[in-house]
Structure 1
Amino acid sequence: MSKRSAGILLYRLDGPELLIVHPGGPFFKNKDVGAWSLPKGEYEPDEDPRAAALREFTEETGMDLPDHDLVALGEVELRSGKVIQAWAAEGDFDLEALRSNTFDLEWPPRSGRRQTFPEVDRALWCDPSTARTKLNPAQAPFVDRLLTHLSP
């Protein structure tokens, strides 16, 4: 069975603007276009994906979202075969308040030295066009699905 992730695309109606995050760690340090993501993370097969999306949003941003008014955005599949299920939520987030959980990695490789990195090293409010450019290309359909939902 392929890995599964769940996440939340936070938006504010002014524009609209979408919140996307940049993965932390040395592999993404100098990557921009196509490297960003919505706050998301893996979940177990017996876990509720909606609950996992809320948990992962909190772990990657430090912000708790209420478990209401989430708009289902469906699923996408990455080239790796991982499936991402997403929801959208209207809200606001202070970029300066970003507080991500961390992970340990041997870095540099084969050095025997372990370093701690944030899962997310920065967040950005952007317009839908910028989001489509910066997001991993497989996640861009979430932007279009949200815009369809927001259309009168």
Structure 2
Amino acid sequence: MKRSAGILPYRHTDESVEVWLVHPGGPFWAKKDARGWGVVKGEYGEHETAEIAARREFAEETGVPAPDGRYVELGEFRQSSGKVITVFAVEHDLGDLTVASNTIAIEVPKGSGRFVEFPEIDDARWYDLLTAADKIHAGQLPVLAALVEHLKTLP
């Protein structure tokens, strides 16, 4: 079973709570907005803990170190692919951070043998929880629910 780990930064505004989601690069995701956003995440093996992997992946995929703060494990979430993602929430205002993502090679068109480099992440934005629920990959909706439950436990 493939495992991934990710970080969900969140912040409080005067009106609501916002989460920071990223949009994957490449031709498959180019025109997908609804259900096209997600948590910064990546795969890891037995030699890393989920939190260390999540921090590493955040830095690789955004070009900046993982945010400072107290990390709270929101849980493990099984995706339709069978992959399990462990997600950590951290309260940290990243501002309007511009991502400088690493790149990935994608075969275009599939089966052609021709590979093109694309940024792994092509955009990142803050969304209030209601909007985020429309934007985030369907398999990651439970991550938002887990964050809401976590927020209820805070003073």
Question: Structure 2-normalised TM-score?
Answer: 0.89
Query: Is the partner of 2:35 in helix, strand or coil?
Result: coil
Map Cα deviations across residues 93-121 of structure 1 (whole Å, 9 max, x no partner): 24452111101123233444321100011
Alpha-carbon distance change, 62 to 75 in structure 1, aligned in 2, over 3 angstroms: same
Output the CA distance in 1 between the equivalents of 2:113 and 2:151: 50
Task: Give yes or no for contact 1:54–1:67 (8 Å, CA) kept in 2.
Answer: no
**RMSD between aligned residues:** 1.6
Q: What is residue 116 of structure 1 aligned with on the other side? A: 117
Q: Is the 8 A contact 1:40 1:57 kept in 2?
A: yes
| Structure 1 range deviating more: 96-105 or 71-80 | 96-105
Q: Deviations over 1:20-60 (max 9, x none)?
A: 01111111111121121100001012321110001111111
Bigger drift between 124-133 and 87-96 goes to 87-96
In structure 1, the gaps of 5 or more residues are none
User: Could you say which residue in structure 2 is the equivalent of 1:31?
Assistant: 32
8 Å Cα contact 2:69-2:91 kept in structure 1 = no
Aligned to 1:99: 100
User: Would you say how many aligned residue pairs link Structure 1 and Structure 2?
Assistant: 151
| 1:75 is aligned to 2:76 | yes
* Local SS of the residue matching 1:131: helix
What is the TM-score when the length of structure 1 is the normalising length?
0.91
In structure 1, what is the Cα distance between the partners aligned to 2:137 and 2:32?
11
What does 1:1-150 align with in structure 2 at a 5 Å threshold? Answer: 2-14=1-13, 15-66=16-67, 68-150=69-151
Give the match's secondary structure for 1:97: coil
